[in-house]
Structure formats: structure tokens, C-alpha cells
Amino acid sequence: MTQPLVLLDDPARGYAMTLAHGWLAPEAADALLAWLLAHAPFERESPVIFGRAVTVRRASCAYGDEGLRYRYSGLRREALRWPTELERLRDRLREELNAPFGFVLCNHYPDGDAGLGWHADDEPDLARDAPVAALSLGAERDFAVRLREGGPAIHSAPLPHGSLVVMSGSFQRVLHHRVPVRRRCREPRVSLTFRCMREG
């Protein structure tokens, strides 16, 4: 792994974002992607957007500590028990980032026609201002960030296979992020976003 790059750092507003290329070595990233594509029970989502349930091309599933569930955009995801393949990564992240990661949302983008719109990971089930760590596997896709009030992206970074983005501090309260559609991309991508849940 190379030293993480600091892509955003705003001490006044209390947020930061780092990107570590090769956080997972290529062979390990290949094996994990193959395992997820073969075994993870991805389901296409129908989030409620402007009051209507809309089925999107992206699919997702979640793993986590026993009894955990996660509510977002009118959906409820029950966490499946941690498989060994993800437990190891969770433990490594807990140690490296000193944060109690207890849940991972897995997003499957079958190709570049699937994307994820502007949003923040700020649901009430999440611990306030805890880091969110996103591991990218498969096709390289862009990750864009803008202020919550709108306007153009203030940053956009390509996320290669095996890279890890960490959003920390007030990031989710101040900023929105998205994965734009990329029509030319024909390869699948899976992202794993590890989250810390609110106590109680």
C-alpha cells in the first residue's frame, strides 16, 4: 500500500478525505471481487426518490454485527452475519482507523450505466462524525464530492481496484458524494462501505 493521499482537508469545517491506492493488494482484491460476485446476495434497490419507489440498476446487500439493520431512502437492510472474507477487512480497518466498524454496505455496479446520485451517509442509524471507509473493487469509477448546498463538484477522484477512500469528521454533514454514470465502462464494480453504527 502507498501512503494515503489527503484529497480533502478542511480543519475549520472539520472534515477530511483520504485515498490509499493498493490498500488491498491486486491478488487479494481479485479474489475478494470474485467471491462477492459469486456469493453476495445482491438485490436491486428501489429507493424512494421524491416520494416514488424507483428501481435502480445498482444492487446491494449488507453484512454486519448480529441484529443490525440500516435504514436509508425508505429502505431497510438487515445485516447478514460477517463472512470470514469481510471479517478480516473489518478487523484491519478497526485497527488502522481506530473506529468500531460494525456494518458494511456492498454496492454492485454491473457496468457504467449504474451509478449513485448525490447523497451523504448521514442516516440516523450511523454514529455521528465516525469515519466511513469505502473499498473499491473492479472497474475504476470516479468519486465526486460537492457541498451539500449544491454547486459543482469540489473534487473528483478515480478509484482504482483495491483502493480505499476514508471520509472523516464532519464530511457527511458538510458534503455530498456520488459515483457518476460512465456509459463507456462495461466492467462491473463492487464497493464496500464500512460504517460505524450508533450505540443503542
Ligand X SMILES: O=C(O)CCC(=O)C(=O)O
Give the residues lining the site for ligand X (CB under 6 A): 105, 107, 116, 121, 134, 136, 143, 177, 179, 191, 193
DSSP string, 77-95: EEPEEPPHHHHHHHHHHHH
Closer residue to ligand X in complex, CB, 17/82? 17
Burial of 188 (0-12, 13-18, 19+ CB in 10 A): middle
Contacts of 193 (CB under 8 A, 6+ apart): 104, 105, 107, 121, 132, 133, 134, 135
Q: Considering the complex, what minimum distance in angstroms separates the CB of residue 195 from ligand X? A: 9
Phi, psi of 192 (to 5 degrees): -120, 115
Contact in structure between 58 and 49 (CB atoms under 8 Å): no
Q: Considering the complex, what minimum distance in angstroms separates the CB of residue 58 from ligand X? A: 8
Q: Which residue is nearest to ligand X (CB)?
A: 191
Q: Considering the complex, what minimum distance in angstroms separates the CB of residue 191 from ligand X? A: 3
Closer residue to ligand X in complex, CB, 82/177? 177
Closer residue to ligand X in complex, CB, 12/183? 183
Closer residue to ligand X in complex, CB, 82/195? 195
Cα(9)–Cα(16) distance, rounded to whole angstroms? 4
Reduced to 3 states (helix: H, G, I; strand: E, B; else coil), residue 151 is coil
Q: Considering the complex, what minimum distance in angstroms separates the CB of residue 33 from ligand X? A: 13
Q: Considering the complex, what minimum distance in angstroms separates the CB of residue 174 from ligand X? A: 15
Closer residue to ligand X in complex, CB, 82/159? 159
